[in-house]
Amino acid sequence: MSVVSMKNLLEAGVHFGHQTRRWNPKMAKFIFTERNGIYIIDLQKTVKKIEEAYDFMREVSAEGGQVLFVGTKKQAQEAIESEAKRCNMFYINQRWLGGLLTNHKTITKRIDRLNELNQMEEDGTFELLPKKEVSGLLNEREKLEKFLGGIKNMNGLPDAIFVVDPKKENIAIKEAHILGIPVVGIVDTNCDPDEIDFPIPGNDDAIRAVKLITETMANAILEGKQGNQIEDTEPVVETEVVTVEETIEITEE
């Protein structure tokens, strides 16, 4: 049994890659065919890679590790935030600040400032200050919350990061590599899978595709924390039920 069904991957459009003129030859091993100028990703291989990433995420979580979800493109922002929160992990979904990992001490100072401003509001300090000063402090807090709110409770560096679109999040990946932090990521047909420790071949532009894979990684984390299988809302389908050939036929109907 698989942690995600071929049927769900198909319905989410995970199999649709980029146009054939925009591709990375290293992704050839994950491509099944080409249709109308679009590469079709081999979903059987996607399922296998999802399972490998799932097992890794579950293990990290079971050992008490921290996972940072990263996805700053519009199609990923909502899923990254909601799924990270659902599994009580951390996220960056607006802009990756250079040095967030490699210069973590400086970033920590900004997070401390954010927490300080939140505390000032909670303990009534703002009520004792001039309105103009309070306005400036609130603007400062809003900006810090936008870019760092998703990691304000993260203790130290993450034990793994999950990335949507390695080409866009290349700085995050480079920083993770420097520090030896494993990277799990959705790799579309224009990406280099060798840059990712646990690559998941799939569509990184469709909201439903990103949501499904991100949700599955969050499930792995929850399972690791709970020590038991997450009950799916739908019956799991064996990977053999929908073949890649059938996938192509269905999409052309």
Output the pLDDT for position 1: 62
Domain span including residue 147: 104-155
Q: Please provide the DSSP assignment of 123-162 as one string.
A: TTGGGGS-HHHHHHHHHHHHHHHHHHGGGTT--SS-SEEE
CATH of the domain at 109: 1.10.287
Confidence of residue 140 (pLDDT cuts 50, 70, 90): very high
108-122 residue pLDDT tens:
999 999 999 999 989
Going by C-alpha positions, the residue among 40, 42, 41, 49 that lies closest to residue 2 is 49
Residue 236 confidence (pLDDT) above 50:
no
- Looking at the fold, whether 147 and 218 belong to one and the same domain comes out as no
- Looking at the fold, whether 20 and 38 belong to one and the same domain comes out as yes
Give pTM, 2 decimals: 0.86
154 and 90 Cβ atoms separated by less than 8 Å: yes
1, part of any domain: no
- Looking at the fold, whether 119 and 179 belong to one and the same domain comes out as no
> Average pLDDT for residues 135-161, to the nearest whole number?
95
When divided into structural domains, the chain yields a total of 2
How far apart are alpha carbons 250 and 215 in whole angstroms? 24
Q: Which residues, 6 or more positions from 197, have their beta carbon under 8 angstroms from its beta carbon?
A: 182, 183, 184
- Looking at the fold, whether 170 and 221 belong to one and the same domain comes out as yes
- Looking at the fold, whether 61 and 83 belong to one and the same domain comes out as yes
177-193 residue pLDDT tens:
999 999 999 999 999 99
- Looking at the fold, whether 162 and 37 belong to one and the same domain comes out as yes
